[in-house]
Structure 1
Amino acid sequence: MALISNPAQAAGKRIFLFSENKLLVCAGTQNELPGVELFERCMQHQFICDWLYDTDYEYTAALLEKDVPIGDGFCRIPLRSIFAAEEAFAFEASRAHALLNWKAGTRFCSYCGNALKDAEDETARTCVQCTRRVYPSLSPAIIVLVEKEGKLLLAKHSRRNTDVYTCLAGYVEAGENLENCVAREIKEETGIEVTNIRYVTSQSWPFPDQLMAGFRADWKSGEINIQQSEISDARWFSKDALPEIPKPGSLAYKLITGALSE
């Protein structure tokens, strides 16, 4: 099926209105989505910078201009809180946000430089000149919780102005499988080697287009020697004396709390 860009066909069963990485919901409710009337009003007042109607899942999604007034009847909530609450529409919201990010960064053909338009028969964009098709892309990444004698290896990233300690993570490189990526990222960022690498679960993380694969692993050898360009601190923490960890809704939170429940 296709992504329709005709306002007359835009009334999906669900309406996702995004303000950067936040989702609009009705104020005073438990994550109730707004109706099509708000979408139409935003279109009328030109508050929307891009939008789509996904015929596969029958929802309408739009990205609002920055600092748009939304009125007292609505509020913005972080999209990750939808994941934490395990809302029934979490998958569709994740897909919608990822597709809007993809459209925003996929406006011109990389072969001939001409404009792209939405394909009429599938989720893709087509060059108006050379007719090449461009499909949504994902950036595969791993995130891993390492354990040693009942302690957890958590790190603080140097590029984030926060005291949160989290699991090690990184993008999969060309030619790697996921397990190779786990071992490489841990070795690069902390200098240690691991064994017993095992898959736990995965999560879409559309900020902008990651697919996160979660793993656990056991320490094998080596002492912590951080890669300072990526990590500002890394330590072994006892399960009963953890630092500030990521919030619910993230895969890091699920991995850490999963280890604590054992």
Structure 2
Amino acid sequence: MEPILEIEAVSLQFGGVKALDDVTYHIEKGEIFSLIGPNGAGKTSMLNCISGLYQPTSGSIRYKGQEIVNKKPYHRTTLGIARAFQNIALFAHMSVLDNLKLGRHTLMNSGAISGGMYVGKAANEEIEHRKKVEEVIEFLELQDIRHTPVGTLPYGLQKRVEVGRALALGPELILLDEPMAGMNNSEKDLMARFILDMHEVMDITVVLIEHDLGIVMNLSDHIAVLDFGKRIGFGTPEEIQKNPDVIRAYIGEETVI
């Protein structure tokens, strides 16, 4: 398989603190790739570099062979990269439908007249975008709450809507930062199914940050492990479970996966 994302010697420094230290790995097109490590290891910082929220101090990030380090977050979105955040970044007073539509509308090329009314080419584009949003609502089984204000929903459903807003962008590569955090076991199982379907049905490459190692080992094709900003492991789930550096720093000798 060809890599869809190549991370090469990426470092990120805030003053005297190195959040990432010469990190290198690659992600193959069409796989589920997990980024794991202890709290403060640099996982979210890495997603921020990939999505454009942070500018690496040094190193290269190539998406489908194209250098994207100097591209704005919006340009990365138009290339096919979408991001769901660890801390929910939705508009609480708006409905599920409106949150997804707002995310999708960042891709609109045609303008709208005053009052948000779409005419001509913009109207046709609006119809197409609405169709994509409806597909996401059906995929994530949000039909019954489509008109519900997001702020009134249970936390697990809000996380699902957060993922939905990223999916509404129609990405080839989706970055999921702890999409199962705060969920109970049944909610985790459901989200795991959605992630598998993104991979198998939608043909989306998934980058996942998740602390539940059982889920990580079951879902992932490859895993990279960070510790204090450094890469200490990279490989298949089987290779990661046998890596002595990973066991010592993160998994632990007594952990059963």
- TM > 0.5: no
Higher relative contact order (CA 8 A, sep 6+): 2
TM-score (norm 1): 0.26
TM-score (norm 2): 0.26
More helix by share: 2
